[in-house]
Amino acid sequence: MGKAALVSGASRGIGNAVAKKLAEAGYDLYLTCRQSEERLTEVKKELERNYSIRCVAYTCNMGDYEAVRSLFKEIPDLDVLVNNAGISYVGLLSEMEVSEWQEIMDTNLNSVFYTCKLAIPLMLKKKSGRIVNISSVWGNVGASMEAAYSASKGGVNSLTKALAKELAPSHICVNAVACGVIDTDMNRCFDEEEREALREEIPADRFGRPEEVAELVMQIIDAPEYMTGQIITMDGGWC
């Protein structure tokens, strides 16, 4: 039986780049997105055509437990889980609606709990597994005007460390990548002047590429089992 991986938020950006790297390595894939069904279907066809792997695409709100539970009923076996689904909110906390806060927490943090809860039994059967959570430098240090996003990613970091301790005896590794500014659609909310100011703050003098994050994710997946519970920052020296 081949290796299988689930990647959330795989229609574009980091999730798409990770899916391609996993397909290159011969993994059969379960891919999700929240809205871009047509785009995700294109990704599925491309990966199957180029890498001769089996790929299944699902439109799923990863912040909805019942939706995620239904998704996992279709997954009989899993070796790797990459939690990438995420959304951002830029604005003052005092002006944020409670519903907006809840959506950030559901999508960025609760979704990680849901997928881990359901993936763990599949990995325990094999006494092996790799869980990689895509986090953010703002989960490490916090960001003004992004309090909810920072809180959700800080939660992901803490969950990563705690769950790694729970699962280490079962040979299941849990790690996270704390990304800096990666050139994805999430950062298209900034205008050119803002993007230029942001770039100037980064010692590497550029935004990161999704493919670079994907390379690091694959290195984590292939790392020795003794590496677990780590929050690995990838930000061009920014924070």
Q: Please name the amino acid found at residue 121.
A: P
Q: What is the pLDDT of residue 150?
A: 98
Give the per-residue pLDDT at 185: 79
Query: What's the rounded Cα separation, in Å, for the pair 56 and 47?
Result: 10
> What is the per-residue pLDDT for 186?
75
Residue with the bigger pLDDT between 160 and 189: it is 160
At residue 218, the pLDDT reads 98
The larger pLDDT score, comparing residue 52 to residue 189, is at 52
pLDDT in tens, 77-119: 999 999 999 999 999 999 999 999 999 999 999 999 999 999 9
Checking DSSP bridges between strand 129-136 and strand 172-179, what pairing results, if any? parallel
Q: Check: CATH 1.20.1050.10 for 4-234?
A: no
CB atoms within 10 A of CB 94: 6
* Domain layout of the chain by residue ranges: 4-234
- Can you tell me the distance from the alpha carbon of 222 to that of 36, in angstroms, rounded to the nearest whole number? 30
3-state secondary structure of 217: helix
Reading phi first (left if > 0) and then psi (alpha if -120 to 50, else beta), residue 90 is in beta
Residue type, 117: K
Q: Reply yes or no on whether the pLDDT at 21 is more than 80.
A: yes
Q: What is the pTM of this model?
A: 0.96
pLDDT band of 169, cuts 50, 70, 90: very high
Judged against a pLDDT cut of 70, whether residue 1 lies above it is answered with no
Asked if the model's pLDDT at residue 166 lies above 70, the reply is yes
pLDDT at position 239 is 84
**Residue 121, pLDDT above cutoff 70:** yes
Q: What is the mean pLDDT of the chain?
A: 96
Range with lowest mean pLDDT among 11-15, 63-67, 161-165, 195-199: 195-199
Give the pLDDT band (50/70/90) at residue 128: very high
Query: Contact at 8 Å (CB) between 104 and 153?
Result: no
Q: Return the active site residues.
A: 149
User: What is the predicted pLDDT for the residue at 192?
Assistant: 86
